[in-house]
Structures are given as C-alpha cells and as structure tokens.
Amino acid sequence: MNTKKDETHYNFKGLFKYISTVVSWTIFVLLIIVGVLLIYYYISVRLYATKGDKYEPKFSVYTIVSQSMEPNIEVYDVIINTKVDDISEVKVNDVITFISTWQVTQGMTITHRVVGTKTLDDGSTCLITRGDNNTQEDQACVRERDIIGVTKAVIPGLGKVQFFLSSKIGWLLLILLPALYIIGKDIVKIFRLSKEIKDEEKNKKAKTTNQKKLQTKKLEEAYSDLKKVKSKKK
C-alpha cells in the first residue's frame, strides 16, 4: 500500500544526496583553485620583494576589468600568461599582456591581441596590438621589454570569485559556509544515528517481549500438560 510513498522518499533521498555531492565537490574545487592562486601570488610577492625588478615569474595571473577583448575574453575572466624569453616567440593572433607605453594609458597592464609586427629604426621588432572589441589598433607599439607574457588559458568568471573573496563578507562566507555545511552534515548524521539506535533498541525490546511471551506460553502449555497427566492418574 505504501510502495509509492516509499519510492518517492527514496527518490528524494537520492536527489538530496546527489545535490549534496555536487555542492561539496564544487566548493572543494573552487577552494583548491583559489588556494593555488593565492599561494602562487604570495610566493611571487615574496620573490619580488627579495629580487626586486629583476624577478620575472614564469607564470602570471590577471583579472580582466575592461571590455576591450570581448566577446573572447570578458570582464572578470582570469587569464594565465607564460613568460616570453624572446619576442620572436610571439606570433600574430596571440593574446599578450604588456605594460602600455602610450601616454594616455602609460604604465597600465593591458591584455590585447597581436595583429601585426613592425621593425623599428634600430632594427628591433615591436608588436602591433588591438583589443578584439576595439575598432582601432593601439597607439603604441609593444617592445620586448614591455611584454609580461602570452595568454595561455582563460578561466571564465573566476574574477568575480576573486573580488568577492577579497571583501570582508567574502572571507567570512569562505569560512562560514563550508563550516555550516560540515556542521549540517554532522547534525544529519547524528540524527540518523540516533534514529538507528532508537530503532535498534525498539527491535530489541520487541524481540525480548516476544521471547517472554513465547516462554510464558510454553510454561502455560507445560503446566496444562502436567495437569492433564495428574488428572489421568487420579
């Protein structure tokens, strides 16, 4: 009679377990990614503080904050660059991160696509760049010394997590949410274990009661048989 009810309960339990697993792994993966980036950032800062301007990391990580590379790289996407040892390694259509030398954006870190090359009067090569969302090429040519790296990977939207976690509320939730989730799971386990213990005790009591009833019945039957034997002897 309760087959449908039991089946619905089982499906709900399975769905809850699936959602719980997905949430757990999502939080775990995000924490791992953020943790790795924070560790790398910390190490880079320490090395830069020790070696100064001579320190050039093999990898660099930046969060995009402008729309100049949309739709290929959007605002809040995180890019991972690899260091360039020689400007000849950079090809047309590569996306590079560099320090701008144009007077309007001088000193700013920019990520744009290489659309061509140019040979300067001293024989050196510089790169012509343009944002995918821009209609004009950048005003200043990018020299080798200004290149930070070539973009090798883009992580969509991770910058939102970065900016959120950099806030006080973000750090609080980073600690609070996983803690609440773990505590919640433990509470559910405790209730489940408590229910199992109660059910086990109830089964034991029922078993004991049945055994007592069975023993009483056997004693009554034995006493009845004894009375019959005595009455026959008389």
What ranges in 106-167 are assigned the alpha helix state H?
158-165
Instruction: Name the nearest CA neighbour of 162 among 176, 151, 174.
Output: 174
* Separation CA 148–CA 142 (nearest Å): 11
Taking a C-beta distance cutoff of 8 angstroms, is the pair 69, 133 a contact? yes
Query: What pLDDT, in 10s, does the model give residues 65-84?
Result: 999 999 999 999 989 999 88
* Separation CA 61–CA 80 (nearest Å): 5
pTM for the model stands at 0.55
Query: What pLDDT, in 10s, does the model give residues 15-48?
Result: 666 676 776 677 667 667 766 766 766 666 565 5
Average pLDDT, the chain: 78
Instruction: Name the nearest CA neighbour of 132 among 74, 89, 82, 80.
Output: 74
For 57-156, CATH gives 2.10.109.10
- Whether the predicted pLDDT of 196 surpasses 70: yes
